[in-house]
Amino acid sequence: MYATMLTFDVIAMACMCLRFYSKRISKAKWFPDDYVLFVSWVVGTIYIGISLWMTRYGLGHPSVHLSKETVLDLKHYAPANTFMSITAVWVSKLSFFITLLRLVSGWQKKVPLWFFMTTCVLSLFLLSIMQSFYQCDIARPERNPCLAEGPINSFNIFGGVYSTLVDVLLSLVPTMVIWKVSMRPLERAAIICAMSTGLLAAVVSILKIYYNYRTLYGDTPRDPAMGGVTSALASVEVSCTIIAASIPFFRPLIRRMTGKDDSYQSYQSGQGGVASPMSASRQNSHTRKQDNANDVSVREIESGKRTPNYFQR
């Protein structure tokens, strides 16, 4: 647990800092997704601290090696750990949602994004409240009223599956937007790969669902050993989401390191960077306007200089 959680947390912090440094290079101001991303890393780091502290009470160890008193102590601190775990997940996803809302244009794309963002974040938020503070628990039988364990466990699995499905669908959004943008094929492929790294979070989420199911419905329900694996995977999921939300903003830094900063600055000052529209014989004026809008959107999101309009039709 120590090596996995701390390693990915440090990598996520490094990527986030490089994102902010790239914005400083391009003299861009911070937008809401930047603040939410930083908050998600802080919450995730606090969650790691709580999880590692709980190892002293048996988290990550088989229950057969623990005394009854130790198990009760572990369950006593579990609600705070669960709340921070789920909160870190939905806050990190919220940052990525906001970044995608800045990327796309047109109500046909913004409405589905708003729907998925609202339903995914709301379901995870409700899960964090119900499972952490209202679930019936033998460690604290005085809690009344409380919600039965069975329905909350089912909602837990549903929230994980829905969150994973949303991650997969959102990873396709950058491809849909960037595919028609006028740029070099290699540059287009690099941007698509960078903005689709959210699939890593989806893969980790699938593993977390599997071990979470074993924790809830396995031969030894609520086994601290399985709980330790689930805790580690939840932390890795948050880190992967932060990494995926940070990499696409590295372009100003990369261009400076490769000696192409001058041309990039000329784009930012409005002297270039948007490809010429295709000839009228190949594309009508409406399509040219949409392609140029996507082109400007992608490049300005990378530079961080675009003023977001989350409700733009």
Q: What is the pTM of this model?
A: 0.77
pLDDT surpasses 90 at 133: no
13 versus 214: the higher-pLDDT residue is 13
What is the full DSSP assignment across 115-128? HHHHHHHHHHHHHH
Q: What stretches of 139-284 show up as alpha helix (H) in DSSP?
A: 149-170, 173-178, 185-195, 198-217, 224-246, 251-257, 261-268
pLDDT surpasses 80 at 289: no
Report the pLDDT value the prediction gives residue 9, as an integer from 0 to 100. Answer: 94
Q: pLDDT tens-digit profile of 232-258?
A: 999 999 998 898 888 878 878 877 887
Architecture of domain 2-250: Up-down Bundle (1.20)
Mean pLDDT over residues 95-109, rounded?
81
Give the Cα separation of 179 and 189 in Å (integer): 9
Give the Cα separation of 307 and 56 in Å (integer): 48
**Residues linked to residue 304 through DSSP beta bridges, in sequence order:** none
For the chain, the distance separating the N- and C-terminal CA atoms, rounded to the nearest angstrom, is 46
Report the pLDDT value the prediction gives residue 274, as an integer from 0 to 100. Answer: 35
How distant, in Å, are the alpha carbons of 98, 137, 153 from that of 143?
37, 8, 18
What count of residues does the chain have? 313
Find how far residue 269's CA is from the centre of its chain. 31
Report the pLDDT value the prediction gives residue 215, as an integer from 0 to 100. Answer: 79
C-alpha angle 257-303-168 in degrees, rounded to nearest 5: 100
Report the pLDDT value the prediction gives residue 46, as an integer from 0 to 100. Answer: 94
Mean pLDDT of the chain: 76
Question: Of all residues in the chain, what percent carry a pLDDT higher than 70?
Answer: 73
Instruction: Give the number of other Cβ atoms within 10 Å of residue 88's Cβ.
Output: 28
pLDDT surpasses 50 at 211: yes
Say if residues 216 and 229 touch (Cβ distance below 8 Å).
no
Give the Cα separation of 30 and 23 in Å (integer): 8
Report the pLDDT value the prediction gives residue 152, as an integer from 0 to 100. Answer: 86
Give the Cα separation of 150 and 130 in Å (integer): 12
Say if residues 177 and 294 touch (Cβ distance below 8 Å).
yes
Report the pLDDT value the prediction gives residue 87, as an integer from 0 to 100. Answer: 93
pLDDT category of residue 107 using cuts at 50, 70 and 90: confident
C-alpha angle 192-119-78 in degrees, rounded to nearest 5: 100
Query: Mapping DSSP to helix (H, G, I), strand (E, B) and coil, where does residue 147 land?
Result: strand
Q: At what angle do helices 224-246 and 2-25 cross, to 10 degrees?
A: 10
Say if residues 96 and 170 touch (Cβ distance below 8 Å).
yes
Question: Of all residues in the chain, what percent carry a pLDDT higher than 90?
Answer: 21
Q: Alpha-carbon dihedral of residues 121, 164, 2, 21, nearest 10 degrees?
A: -70
Range of 45-59, 262-276, 298-312 with top mean pLDDT: 45-59
Say if residues 225 and 61 touch (Cβ distance below 8 Å).
yes
Q: pLDDT tens-digit profile of 147-198?
A: 777 888 889 899 999 999 988 887 777 777 777 667 677 777 777 777 677 7
Report the pLDDT value the prediction gives residue 249, as an integer from 0 to 100. Answer: 83
